[in-house]
Amino acid sequence: METVINYKKKIASRFIPIEGANAQTDLPESDEYIYSEKIDGQLGIAVVNNGQVTIYNRSGALLDLPHITTAFPKDQEGIWAGELYLPLDRSRNFMVSSAIANDKTSLRFCVFDAVHELDKPNDDRVVIVQKSIPEGEIVHPMKWHKTASRKELAQFYADAVESGKEGLVVINTLGYTYKLKPMVELDVAVIGYSMKEDGSGIRALLVGLHDGENWIVVASVGGGFTDETRAQWLQKLQPLECEADIVLVANNRLAYKWVQPSIVIQIKCIEIINEDGSGLIKKDKLSYDGSQYQSIRKTNAVSLISPVFLGIREDKNANADDTGINQVTSRVEWTKDTITDTEELQKSEVIFREVYIKESKTGTAIRKFVGLKTHKTLEQSFPSFVLYYTDFSTGRKDSLQTEIKIASSEDTLREMLANGIEENIKKGWEKVG
């Protein structure tokens, strides 16, 4: 249903998350705030047309919820957005999915917006919902309150969280909508990093969670570092660099460098989401064989909103027990893939591997060229061919340097190899592999 998709893009996906504990300082000033307790459920859209009520889920699929369609006021023509939830002390997103499949009658529907009136301001639509949707056990309007004080709002938030609620939804007089929620802490494995443009340190850490078999990329963590610690992280990660058959590019258009999944860090984020305005979130799933990553495919995953580094977890290991997806699935639904084994992406093929060494007073220097044919396409978010260049020298401050290049054909890839050898392999270098 196009209305659902458009509503998610225009309204639902544009809520601004704020750490609830900082509401008094981080929430922009406003003459007045309208707020309600945030319900942790799933978006539903009720359509009332000629006395008939139909309910659609967040993806626009029709839901069979007769107890809700029967209870919905059939004289209120229009399109109504609401939250499907369970009447528990703390409803959860994934619980709602289970109820839709197994125990539909336990669900309730809280109406919070009049989609057919989107041309009107937020606070006007709040009034329309309050006047149009009567209070009932199964269907009811969102309960909104007003305050002019951020201090009072911060206290309302604290009371809501203490009572087991997810947080608050707040609308200011300019019509901006904010989600006040507690920060979520996770233990994740460092699987890569991006460099600052000047090369002085890391820009961000690429982190992943383990699903019991493979790694899934979940976030790029760039907050929580100083210039000094960014430089320290670079020194820590360079010796751990490894190869992969996939290239991911950071926001500064530099490729992430992959590292062995051996360091566990604790991070915090304001929210974990499994979908955005474009639909379910897809991230890269990777296998790791002890020396390099192999891309499996894009898979259903999550995004972490505003992740911040807290510290290294020396007491944790990078595995499914300590850095598993169960940290997320206990909070939000991690939608299972519908892809079959026959649809798995093919593994990459090593076309060439050339290794050169050179002895010196400071030790052995190594330069290596590896060319891969990915057997994947740009439509699958992969380049066709990849060249990895590794330069190791014990007598240099940055002992390990790497470079990644992509090519559209094998001829171009081999031309890159020839140029790389001409530029980097001079007198004194011996080919050993």
Residue 341: per-residue pLDDT: 41
Based on DSSP, count helices (H) and strands (E) in the chain, helices before strands.
9, 29
Element (H, E) at 84: strand 78-85
**Contact status, residue 179 vs residue 207, Cβ threshold 8 Å:** no
Measured at the alpha carbon of residue 265, what is the angle toward residues 263 and 267, in degrees to the nearest 5? 155
pLDDT in tens, 8-17: 666 765 788 8
pLDDT in tens, 36-89: 998 888 889 999 999 999 999 877 788 999 999 999 999 999 999 999 999 988
**Per DSSP, what are the bridge partners of residue 53?**
48
Residue 379: per-residue pLDDT: 45
pLDDT level of residue 116 (50, 70, 90 thresholds): very high
Q: Burial letters for 235-258: b for 16+ Cβ neighbours within 10 Å, e otherwise?
A: ebbbebbbbbbbbbebeeeebbbb
Q: Burial letters for 335-351: b for 16+ Cβ neighbours within 10 Å, e otherwise?
A: beeeeeeeeebeebeeb
Copy the structure tokens of residue 151: 């201090």
Residue 239 has pLDDT above 80, yes or no: yes
> Considering the chain, what is the average pLDDT of its residues?
88
Q: Strands 385-392 and 363-373, how do they pair? A: antiparallel
pLDDT in tens, 140-192: 999 999 999 999 999 999 999 888 888 999 999 888 889 999 999 999 999 99
What residue ranges do the domains of the chain occupy?
2-180, 184-343, 349-431
* Phi, psi at 9, each rounded to 5°: -70, -40
**Per DSSP, what are the bridge partners of residue 312?**
265
Quick one: CATH architecture of 184-343?
Beta Barrel (2.40)
Instruction: Note the pTM of the prediction, 2 decimals.
Output: 0.64
**Contact status, residue 60 vs residue 6, Cβ threshold 8 Å:** no
CA 339 centroid distance within chain:
20
CA 73 centroid distance within chain:
37
Instruction: Give the CATH fold of the 2-180 domain.
Output: D-amino Acid Aminotransferase; Chain A, domain 1 (3.30.470)
Residue 360 CB coordination number (10 Å) = 11
Residue 278: per-residue pLDDT: 65
Q: How far apart are CA 247 and CA 87, in angstroms?
A: 45
Residue 98 CB coordination number (10 Å) = 13
pLDDT in tens, 332-370: 877 766 554 445 567 788 999 999 998 888 788 999 999
Q: How far apart are CA 136 and CA 45, in angstroms?
A: 18
Q: How far apart are CA 365 and CA 345, in angstroms?
A: 36
User: 122: phi > 0 → left, psi -120 to 50 → alpha, else beta; which?
Assistant: alpha
Of residues 72 and 91, the one with the higher pLDDT is: 72
**Contact status, residue 352 vs residue 417, Cβ threshold 8 Å:** yes
Q: What share of the chain is helix, strand, coil (3-state, %, to 5)?
A: 25, 40, 35
Residue 342: per-residue pLDDT: 42
